[in-house]
Structure 1
Amino acid sequence: MRNSKSGMRCAVLFLLLAAGVQFPALAAAETVIKIGGSGGALGSMKRLAEAFTRSHPGVRIQVLSSLGSSGGIKALMAGALDLAVSGRPLKDDEKANGVTEIQYAITPFVFVVHNKVAKSAVTTHELEQIYGGQMPDWPDGSRIRLVIRPEGDSDTKLLRSISPAMDQAVKSAIGKAGMNFAVTDQDSIDMVAKVPGSLGAATLSQIMTERPPVKILAYNGVNPDVKAMAKGHYPLFKPLYLITVRQAAAVAREFAAFIGSPAGKRILAHSGNQPL
């Protein structure tokens, strides 16, 4: 009787295995690659990861929530990430820690407002007045609510580079009490979407991949798209870098190569980027 039951269990196990049922002890190990960093690039990374894993069934790519460029680089150096994405180039002290950069794309840097703001375009002069406090209201009389990034953030540096007057205006806005401060790209776009009358900035790539309920403004009469940027008509853009370590896992290096492949570049181009 005992042999009969044992034989029956073996037969059932054989049938289950033949049907493709996997058991924890028998399942193939999954390779996990972790990516994080600048929030403006993460939507594109998710699309690239989906395409890559379709042809690599044993690999899972985990795109973490926004850590910011500096946070992503630190996490990579600490071994918590396999790859990082950054909106700025590496600093000298970061390069000294064995990390390298590859600029893989540029994306338009755009101004965004809450959906109910009665405004479709903005000029440099208006931005100088808004950030400087001389223009506190929108044309319909509603209050302008600026969404500010930290002083050392790459978005803040880009804003300040627009003009000498803008440099002073942004510096003044950062020093004012009661401002809406956002640490990460996701925090910033969430705040613009939720706070009535708000004005902030983002990458076109983030807007196209995450599709938040915000409105993109034309800038100095030019719609901020990739074609306008490529032709030099739209002057504001952010570089995007892939940050790696020399001892990166083989699969991480393979994914990095995929980003620069023709297939990867097509995904980037359809995600609000100009691949390089």
Structure 2
Amino acid sequence: MKKNYMKTLALTGLAILAMGALAGCGSKTAETKASDSTTAASSESGTSSAEATTAAGAAAADLKGSISMVGSTSMEKFATALSEVFMEANPGVTVQAEFVGSGAGIEAVGNGSADIGNSSRNLKDEEKAKGIVENIVAIDGIAIVTDPSNKVDNLTKDQLINIYNGTTTSWKDLGGADQPIVVIGRESGSGTRSAFEELLKLEDACKYSNELDSTGAVMAKVASTPGSIGYVSLDVLDDTVKTMNLEGTEPTPENIKAGSYFLSRPFVMATKGEISEQNDLVKALFDYIYSDEGKELVKSVGLIPAN
């Protein structure tokens, strides 16, 4: 029902196509390598190598070293695309990213083991009290997905709440088949789970049948389990699942920006201290993210620019 809203960005070229599947179970580490194919793709689209370098916001000769990012599995697509483009423009820079969940990312940046902590939720007051700064880089929608055979097309906010708190247990009560609802969610510590439960005021109240440790695992489980329902990042939607409307509204970037779709959350790249206090590499990366070219990259992976 709902098609993936990714737009193709000429600058990233084959870099985005080269990204792997979403993070699997457990910890996943990826050291993203710049590809020669990006230069070729830029030439085909009419963009010169010099223009591509300028678009990444820094002079390649001036930047050398590495940037480490740890955190949200939901941010893998964006983080990987960002790394590819930034390293293509800056061959002296290596960007390493580990996708282990928002909580782990915030902890890593707090204890100094990572430059950036990727989080798919807002920071908590106690995290900010430790000097961790919330840098919102994009806005993401949380989509509600079911198995493809489900006949229900729309849920109200109250119906969604009642499914996840265990009050409603059969699709028959929602106009669907006489079939048990299999409630799928993310593991404790997931930014997607935290944002979902906070938006619906369901903290510690959800009755999950399965708690899975990655966005990809939720998609696979819902796609293969009759009667299932789950929540995932907007940018991973595909035809393997059915996407539900909420209050009659589709989960699209346009509807999220208009405020008519109620499940949305920030993508945060947290730092220990303000961006201005970071090393030159990290500052250059944020300069690119907040540039016009960076905003186009955000849109190309199905997200909404933060500014």
Which category of TM-score, normalised to the shorter sequence, fits these structures?
0.7 to 0.9
Q: Deviations over 1:168-220 (max 9, x none)?
A: 9x71515xxxx201244344334323433321112213x15xx5833321111
Match of 1:215 in 2: 242
Match of 2:184 in 1: 147
Distance 1:60 1:172 in 2: 40
For the residue of structure 2 that corresponds to 1:44, the secondary structure is: helix
Letter in 1 for 2:249: V
Letter in 2 for 1:269: K
Match of 2:252 in 1: 225
For the residue of structure 1 that corresponds to 2:150, the secondary structure is: coil
Structure 1 residues 18-167: aligned runs within 5 Å: 31-65=65-99, 67-131=100-164, 132-137=166-171, 139-150=176-187, 153-161=190-198, 167=202
Distance 1:47 1:115 in 2: 29
Letter in 2 for 1:242: M
**More displaced 10-residue stretch of structure 1: 96-105 or 256-265:** 96-105
Letter in 2 for 1:104: V
Distance 2:206 2:156 in 1: 19
Identity percentage over the alignment?
26
| 1:107–1:58 CA distance, 2 compared to 1 (3 A) | same
Cα deviation for residue 50 of structure 1 reads 1.4
| 1:98–1:126 CA distance, 2 compared to 1 (3 A) | closer
Q: Deviations over 1:67-90 (max 9, x none)?
A: 221110112223332212112333
Cα deviation for residue 157 of structure 1 reads 4.7
For the residue of structure 1 that corresponds to 2:78, the secondary structure is: helix
Structure 1 position 258 matched with structure 2 position 288: yes
Match of 1:9 in 2: none
| 1:240–1:197 CA distance, 2 compared to 1 (3 A) | same
Match of 2:225 in 1: 195
Letter in 2 for 1:230: K
Distance 1:172 1:163 in 2: 10
| 1:273–1:193 CA distance, 2 compared to 1 (3 A) | same
For the residue of structure 2 that corresponds to 1:107, the secondary structure is: strand
Structure 1: 5+ residue stretches without partners: 1-29
**More displaced 10-residue stretch of structure 1: 182-191 or 100-109:** 182-191
Distance 1:161 1:82 in 2: 27
Distance 1:47 1:83 in 2: 16
| 1:128–1:99 CA distance, 2 compared to 1 (3 A) | closer
Letter in 1 for 2:65: T
Q: Deviations over 1:25-51 (max 9, x none)?
A: xxxxx7332222122222111111111
Bigger proportion of residues as helix? 1
| 1:204–1:163 CA distance, 2 compared to 1 (3 A) | closer
For the residue of structure 2 that corresponds to 1:64, the secondary structure is: strand
Cα deviation for residue 120 of structure 1 reads 3.2
Distance 2:187 2:108 in 1: 20
User: Does the CA contact (< 8 Å) of 1:68 and 1:185 recur in 2?
Assistant: no
Structure 2: 5+ residue stretches without partners: 1-63
Letter in 1 for 2:66: V
User: Does the CA contact (< 8 Å) of 1:38 and 1:185 recur in 2?
Assistant: no
Q: Deviations over 1:235-259 (max 9, x none)?
A: 2210121111346442222112211
Letter in 1 for 2:93: V
Match of 1:171 in 2: 205
